[in-house]
Amino acid sequence: MERLISPTASLKGTLRVPGDKSVTHRGLMLGALAQGESTLYYPLKAGDTLSTAQVMRQLGAEISEQGEHFRIKGVGLKLHEPADVLDCGNAGTLIRLVAGILSGQEIFTVLTGDASLRRRPMGRVTTPLRQMGARIEGREGGKLAPLAIRGGGLRGIHYELPVASAQVKSAVLLAGLFAEEDTEVVEPAPTRDHTERVFRHYGLPIELEGPLIRTRRAEPFAAKDLTVPGDFSSAAFFLVAALITPDSDLTLEGVGLNPTRTGLLTVLKEMGADLSWQVSEGQDGEPVGRIRARSSALKGVSVDPRLIPLMVDEVPILAAAAAWAEGETFIPNLEELRVKESDRVAAIAKNLQNLGVPVEVGHDWLKIRGGSVQSGGMVEPFHDHRIAMAFAVCGLPTGVVVKEAEWASISFPSFWEDLERLAGKV
């Protein structure tokens, strides 16, 4: 489905973005592992998280939709063996995290997904899970899905992550809930800490010692309600849209402001963005607040590579901001983006070129010279929701055509309608 976006004069108003995808995944999984019934309030109900709900149903949990919420009846720490293959769709978080859980279950399961997911690297999780004792087979020696897992009999390990990855960290910690002896993970750099926070929320064992995170075998735990904050990654599209569109003033309400997710705010402020934010409350371990963004004259910067793990999903929209900034923006440490839903480094470079923006690209870096976005360009999402939305935003002031616009529904089903409303087009 192609979507034509006419030139936008301004964006004004208030928006509450959908629930956080990362927290929704974890809430569904731990709600299924709990004993009793609970409500997951304000979750994201989109492609990836609906896949998680269905997978946990196949593993024995009862999950029903109640208005905006999910009602979950967990089966405890012992999941049921499914009668069929578990289809993870496009959800990388789902397949990697549930692989950790299933490694600790004395059942047989097979995990697969769509063509994009079957290309994404799984060796980074199957390697430590095999070290813990899980029996996992897959294509290319377990490096690619489908993955066949026969779990049980795990032992704790001390594992130093070769890459800064919240998904790998979380897979090992979840497996550690079923392992004999302690399981320790050491991060080379901080990554999003939603798993650690939901462990605390449910009373699961978790200890932090600098870069080392430790867990151990869990006892049965009671179900507990969980409120999902608004997704910062979704809010980021509208923040940048307001910054680059003249005469704009937007406020985003109820946004998760977990400091392991908000590296983009630091970079945008360095670029001269008129941004302000305030944490107003905490929801079940996650800080939540509002962000205000107004039209700004941005300037290019050299991004601190240490910030990339704190904004890994926001690099596409940062590139959109850089396209409008005066001067050159250098974004390093992007190797992880090569193995997302698309090769995001290549996808970013291609779409910048489509919009007339000079860009140089290396294996793990981008150099963008801003200030020359052309009207009427074509956005190619490459089957990637964040690329579709980021470059729709990039072309917003001049007008743009977005191919395969439906990919936005993976994480932000109301994106196009919200954009039109705030632009005064409906």
DSSP E strand boundaries for 129-210: 135-138, 144-150, 158-160, 183-186, 207-209
Annotated catalytic residue 313: yes
**What are phi and psi for residue 330, nearest 5 degrees?**
-115, 125
Tokens for 249, please give them. Answer: 């003033």
Task: Report CA-CA distances (Å) from 253 to 76, 238, 276.
Answer: 35, 12, 12
Question: Do residues 377 and 353 touch, judged by C-beta distance below 8 A?
Answer: no
Q: Is the dihedral of CA 15, 314, 387, 126 positive or negative?
A: negative
**What are phi and psi for residue 315, nearest 5 degrees?**
-60, -40
CA 423 to chain centre: 26
End-to-end Cα distance, the chain? 20
Catalytic residue selected from 20, 87, 313, 418: 313
**What are phi and psi for residue 102, nearest 5 degrees?**
-70, -25
Residues contacting 396, CB < 8 A, separation 6+: 5, 7, 8, 241, 244, 245, 419, 423
Question: Do residues 5 and 401 touch, judged by C-beta distance below 8 A?
Answer: yes
Which amino acid would we find at residue 323?
A
Pick from 321, 280, 278: nearest CA to 301: 321
> How far apart are the C-alpha atoms of 361 and 351, rounded to whole Å?
12
Q: Is the dihedral of CA 127, 115, 414, 86 positive or negative?
A: negative
Q: Across the chain, how many H-helices and E-strands are there?
A: 13, 22
Please report where in the chains the tokens 């897959």 appear, as a residue.
138
**Helix axes 123-131 and 166-176, enclosed angle (nearest 10):** 30
Tokens for 166, please give them. Answer: 């919240």
Pick from 402, 301, 397, 389: nearest CA to 344: 389
372-377: which pairs have CB atoms within 8 A and are 24 or more residues apart? Answer: 373/323, 373/324, 373/397, 373/398, 374/398, 375/7, 375/399, 375/400, 376/400, 376/401, 377/401
Catalytically active residues, by annotation: 313
